[in-house]
Amino acid sequence: SPSKMAKILRNNKHVVCISGKYVNIFNLGDENQRTLCCDPTDLKDTQRETDDAKTEEEKPEKSESDGEDGEKSKNGTAKGSKCTSGSDAILTCGFSSTGRYFAVCDDHKRLTLWDATEDWKQLSVRTVLRRSSTLTFSQKEDNVIIGDKSGDVFTFSTKNCEQPGQLILGHLSLLLDTIVTKNDEFIITSDKDEKIRVSRYPNGYTIESYCLGHTQYVTALCYVEDVDLLISGAGDSTIRGWSYKQGEELCCIDCRNDLELEAQPDEKENTDGLVVKSLKYSSKHNLLAVGIYKHSKILIYKIDATSSPQLQFHQAIQTPENVLELCFDEEGYLWVLMGEESRSVQVYQITEQSICELLKEEHCTTDSNKETLRTVAYINTQEDILKKSSLEPENLFEHLHKLKVGSKTFMSEYYDKKEKRIETEKEKYKQNQQKRQQRRRGGKRSNKNRETEDTTEVELSEKKAKSEMS
C-alpha cells in the first residue's frame, strides 16, 4: 500500500498542505480554510470553509453533542463527506507555473484538476492508466504531465477536459521526477536506474541527451531558468549541476561534507549515505534549498551565475525536527513542513545578506511579513489536519538502492543465498535418494512374491499330473 504524502505548496494567494488523502487550503493572511477530499465512491469533492475562532467560541457544545459528525468536523473532513476507508491517498500533486491550476493524482488512479483562481472550481476528474509517481505542468499551462510507476509519461489537456491522456515517452523503470524547461522546449525525466533523460517536448521520442553520473536513483530535479542550468539530487548523497543539452556534468557536491558528516563504517552499505529528497530554487535570491530525507538540516547553496554555473555552499539551517517538505514562495520566503508524530510549519526569510533566518514577530515590519506569520500561526493550530498523514515508512527509499558488487553487504547476502541454495539442493537430493531406496525395496519384494507364486504353480501342476497318471 502506498505511503501517505505530507507536502506543502504555495501560490500567490494560498498555502496548500497535503496530508494523506486531504488537500488543505489556507488563505494567506486570514483564518479561512478549505478542505478537499477525494472520495472513491463519489467523484465530487466536498468543500468546507471554516472559521477557527467561530468554531471554538460559538459552537463548542455542538461538536461535543454531534458525536461522529463532530469528530469528522474536528478532523477537517467536510460535513456530509462520503470518504470511505481505503487506499485513496494522494500520490502526487502540484501547481502550474502561475498558480492558476492545481492537480492531484491519488491511489485510485484518478487525476483531479482544479482552477485555483475561481474559488477552487473542480474542472475535471479523469482516470490514468497506472498509479502516478510524478506530476508537473507545461510552462504554457495547457497540459498536466503525469509520469507513472511503469516509466510512461502522459499529457492531459487543461483546456479540453474530456480529452484522454496522450503518451509522449517512456522509461524502462520507475520515474521519480519530471520537469519542463523554458518555453516548453525540453522535458527532463529521472528514474531509479540513475538515468536523467532530456527529450524534446512534446515529441518525447526525440532524445536530446542523457545526463549520467549518479550512482543511485535520481530523486529530485530542479531547473534554474536564469542560467539554463539543471540540478539533480539522488540517493548517493550528491547534488549535481548539468549542462543538460550536452549531457555534461558541471559540478558535483557531496552533501555529507556540508552537513559535516563522515561515512560511518557500520552504516548499511546498501544505502550509500544520505538521500536528497527535494530541491527548491528561489529566483529572487538566487538560492537553492536542499531537503534531506530523515534529516533536520536544510542546506542552502548559492548559484554562481557565470558562463559555467557552479553551486557554492552558503548555509545550513537547523530545524527542530526532520524536514518533510519545503518550498519557496514568490516573495522568497522558505516554507518548511517538518515533524514525524507531530506536524508543524516554519517560515524563513532571506535577509539583505542572503542569510536565511526564522521569521519572528520582531521581523514583521511589512504587511507581507505580518500576513505570512499570521497564516503560519493559524496552520500550526490545526494539529488534526497536519497529522492526518501517516508516518513515512522507514524504508521509503531503501528498496530503490542497488547493491554494489564486492561490498560486504553484497557478498554476505550472496554467500547466505548460496548456502541456502546448497542446503535446499542437499535436502532435495536426500529426499530423492529415500524415494529411490523405497522403490528398490518395493521392487525386490514384488520379485520375491512373483518367484513364490511361480513355484507354487509348478508344484500344483506336478501334483495334478501325478494324480492323473495314477
* DSSP bridge partners of 187: 180, 199
Joined grid coordinates for residue 384: 488534526
C-alpha of 41 from chain center: 25
Joined grid coordinates for residue 53: 475562532
Q: Which pLDDT belongs to residue 363?
A: 72
**Contact in structure between 89 and 48 (CB atoms under 8 Å):** no
Which whole-number Å values give the CA distances from 112 to 44, 169, 228, in the listed order? 10, 22, 31
C-alpha of 120 from chain center: 25
H helix count then E strand count, the chain: 7, 29
Pick the closest to residue 297 from 284, 309, 312, 313 (CA basis). 313
Q: Which helix (H) or strand (E) holds 112?
A: strand 110-115
| DSSP string covering 193-250 | TS-EEEEESS-TTSEEEEE---SS-EEEEEEETTTTEEEEEETTSEEEEEETTTTEEE
Count of alpha carbons within 13 Å of 161, Cβ hemisphere only? Answer: 12
* Amino acid in position 168: I
Pick the closest to residue 131 from 162, 91, 177 (CA basis). 91
Average confidence (pLDDT) per 10 residues, the chain, 470 residues: 68 88 86 73 41 40 37 34 55 94 93 90 93 96 96 96 93 95 97 96 96 95 94 96 95 92 47 82 94 93 83 93 92 89 85 87 80 90 68 62 64 80 89 86 65 66 70
Count other Cβ atoms within 10 Å, centred on residue 13.
13
Q: Which pLDDT belongs to residue 433?
A: 87
Determine the Cα–Cα distance for residues 180 and 185; give it in Å rounded to an integer.
Answer: 7
Q: Which pLDDT belongs to residue 152?
A: 96
Q: Which pLDDT belongs to residue 36?
A: 83
Helix (H, G, I), strand (E, B) or coil at 337: strand
